[in-house]
Amino acid sequence: MRAVLQRVKEASVTVDGAVVGAIGPGLLVLLGVGKGDTDADVDFMVDKVPGLRIFEDEAGKMNRALVDGSKALLAVSQFTLFADTKKGRRPSFIDAMPPDEARRLYAAFCEKCRAAGLTVAEGVFAADMKVALVNDGPVTILLDSRAR
Q: Which residues are catalytic?
A: 78-80
By C-alpha distance, which of 45, 55, 52 is closest to 112? Answer: 45
Supply the DSSP symbol for 108: H
CB count, 10 Å around CB of 87? 8
Residues 6+ apart with CB under 8 A from 128: 15
Residue 58 amino acid letter: E
Burial (0-12, 13-18, 19+ Cβ within 10 Å), 17? exposed
Partnered with residue 8 across adjacent β-strands are 26, 135
